[in-house]
Amino acid sequence: MTLFDKFAQLANARQVIEEKCSDFFNIVMGDISSATEAVVNGRKVILAGTNNYLGLTFNKECIRASCLAAEQEGTGTTGSRMANGTFSGHVALEHELSDFFERSQTIIFSTGYVANLAILSTIVGPGEVILLDADCHASIYDGCRLGGAEVIRFRHNDVGDLEKRLQRLAKRNTNVLIVVEGLYSMMGDRAPLADIISLKKKYGAYLVVDEAHSLGVLGKNGRGLAEEAGVEDSVDFVIGTFSKSLGAIGGFCSSNHAELNLIRYASRPYVFTASSSPSTIASTRTALRIMRAKPELKHQLWNNANLLYSRLQGLDLNVGPAASPIIAVRYANVEDALVIWNGLLELGIYVNMVLPPATPDGGALLRCSLSAAHTTAQIEKIGDAFASLTEA
């Protein structure tokens, strides 16, 4: 037996997919000309799978801020926040995020993944319990496992199942942390947050909401699902990322718990990870300011989302229960999804193909994520491509 024998099943599965769709594992974005267009494998395509919700990756102000920061402060910090990696921009961004979320404390991290690892592995530990929605992101699962707390899943968006588990835990007299997402990354559906808040209060639990995909997308000010649902005061920790609506890379946690700052000394992913580069921080700060000043970006995003959702629903495709900037089409088997995905690419449309075990039900998804930068003509072209392949 060799070190790599355990990967045999994975290698076989990959070979089967490569035989049916050789492009899938060889996607390279080249000649990226805008937030919505690039060349993929020699073919010009519309990008409909980037999570670039507000289209800010090519915003001129963000690019100028990024370049200026690199010129003035260098290309990287070369250290963690606890060592030499705290620059004035890191502190300023934390203050600006606290102001935006109307919370007293914010910590930023090098990636959204690290944010979940850092928070979830540290604020709960042995003898305590995490209740997480079964469809939560892999970074949430990994963060939960690292801390040594007992991890219990409840059925996706099933408030009844959550309450059954809270009832059983009530006898144990321990701290319980509930973890959900604002918009779920695969199907774009929302957590039933108001109902979850009611249970949180009833059983004395704490609550984390990961607003990674809902930042800039939901709520009057773009603060996410908690704002849209009117329950922000009842959310203990808001976690998110800069790699979606803010067009950069990084993560954060905001809270009104003053003890959040202790995470800076207790969390290994924070203490031992190099901090974000000055250019990343500068572009993120600029994007946050633009997002706050231009609500029309969110409105345009939703116009595009409603247009494509209506079009795909009209084709009788198996889409989610409601319009969202994430629009996923379900396929019962991988082979059908491979054929459509490859056909879309040939027609100049790039979407994400999501395969088991990442899919919720063992099938396959073709996942579109839309942007405020998409034109109506581009949205129509995406719909036309699905129609031609569906009706063929």
Exposed / middle / buried, residue 324 (Cβ in 10 Å: 0-12, 13-18, 19+): buried
pTM: 0.95
Q: SS3 for the chain, per residue?
A: CCCCHHHHHHHHHHHHHHHHCCCHHHCCEECCCCCCEEEECCEEEEECECCCCCCHHHCHHHHHHHHHHHHHHCCCCCCECCCCCCCHHHHHHHHHHHHHHCCCEEEEECCHHHHHHHHHCCCCCCCCEEEEECCCCHHHHHHHHHCCCEEEEECCCCHHHHHHHHHHHHHHCCCEEEEEECECCCCCCECCHHHHHHHHHHHCCEEEEECCCCCCCCCCCCCCHHHHHCCHHHCCEEEEECCCCCCCCCEEEEECCHHHHHHHHHCHHHHCCECCCHHHHHHHHHHHHHHHHCCHHHHHHHHHHHHHHHHHHHCCCCCCCCCCCEEEEEECCHHHHHHHHHHHHHCCEECEEECCCCCCCCCEEEEEECCCCCCHHHHHHHHHHHHHHHHC
Tokens 């959310």 label which residue?
235
Domains of the chain: 15-47+295-391 (3.90.1150.10), 60-293 (3.40.640.10)
Phi-psi region of 74 (alpha: psi -120 to 50; beta: other; left: phi over 0): left
CB-CB neighbours of 375 under 10 Å: 12
80 backbone dihedrals φ, ψ, rounded to 5°:
-80, 170
Tokens 């996923």 label which residue?
328
pLDDT on residue 359: 77
Sign (positive or negative) of CA dihedral 163, 169, 174, 177: negative
Residues whose CB is less than 8 angstroms from the CB of residue 360 and which lie 6 or more positions away in sequence, other chains included = 135, 156, 186, 187
Cross-strand partners of 208: 179, 237
Residues 65, 59 contacting (CB under 8 angstroms): no
| Distance in angstroms (rounded) separating the CA atoms of residues 273 and 276 | 9
| Distance in angstroms (rounded) separating the CA atoms of residues 35 and 53 | 10
Residues 129, 152 contacting (CB under 8 angstroms): yes
| Distance in angstroms (rounded) separating the CA atoms of residues 373 and 121 | 36
Strands 364-369 and 326-331: antiparallel
Going from the first residue of the chain to its last (392 residues), give the mean pLDDT of each consecutive group of 10, the final group possibly shorter: 91 85 83 95 94 98 98 98 97 98 98 98 96 96 94 97 97 96 94 98 98 98 98 98 98 97 96 98 98 98 98 95 95 91 96 84 90 98 96 68
Q: How many residues does the chain have?
A: 392
Q: Is the peptide bond before 357 cis (omega within 30 degrees of 0)?
A: yes
How far, rounded to the nearest angstrom, does the alpha carbon of residue 77 sit from its chain's CA centroid?
25
What tokens were used for 129? 């319990």
